[in-house]
Amino acid sequence: MKQRPAVDLSGLPTYGIGPRSLTWWGTLGFMALEGTGFALAAGAYLYLALSWPQWPLGAPPPNHWPGTIVTLLLIVSLVPNHMLNRYAEQCAIMPVRIGLVVMSLLGIAPLVVRWFEFPALNIYWDTNAYGSMLWVLLGLHTTHLITDVGDTVVLTVLMFTRHGNSGRRFGDVGDNVFYWDFVVATWIPIYLLIYWTPRLG
């Protein structure tokens, strides 16, 4: 029996950027799982806060300045992050390389401040339930921050090699931009919980 193709797909692109990429959807699913983890941790914190008449337990409120500096750095990073996304969509190799270097530095800067943020909590993780929840919330976000910064640095190095000018790599840059937005967005409610909820009373 003679067969012939119904549609010729040879002209379709071999990669996609944004929602046209399978890795973008995988990143979205990954963020949904991680967002659920953040929500569960935040729910546990609020449960404890509402269950005790005096909050925080056994410690003064955290020093908010390190966390505020991290917040400002993350918000500022959104501007070059979205510029980088536009360059990735245009497959502009030099602006993408520069943007990735900038984003690597803007990712490392909050990690440096985060080093001072843990002592500024004014309580250790094993002091009581309040201390444990603070360290869990800050530790979860730090893990995601390290993960994305590591990915950004590796991607930056890759874009300076012969593999960097392929279309698929520009799609990877777009996915990295997408995930960084998630890292910034999840930090805002955690920042409010850690530093401002104890000051409401």
What pLDDT, on the 0 to 100 scale, is given for residue 111? 96
Percent of the chain predicted with pLDDT > 70: 92
Interval 149-169 mean pLDDT: 87
Residue 135 pLDDT greater than 80, yes or no: yes
Q: What angle do CA 125, 126, 132 make, to 5 degrees?
A: 45
Q: Indicate the CATH number of 21-52+67-199 among 2.60.40.650, 3.40.50.510, 1.20.120.80, 3.10.130.10.
A: 1.20.120.80
pTM: 0.87
Lowest mean pLDDT among 28-42, 112-126, 144-158, 165-179: 165-179
Higher-pLDDT residue of 105 and 4 is 105
* Burial degree of 121 (CB within 10 A; 0-12, 13-18, 19+): buried
What pLDDT, on the 0 to 100 scale, is given for residue 13? 61
CA–CA distances in Å: residue 122 to residues 46, 57, 192: 19, 11, 16
Q: Where are the domains of the chain?
A: 21-52+67-199
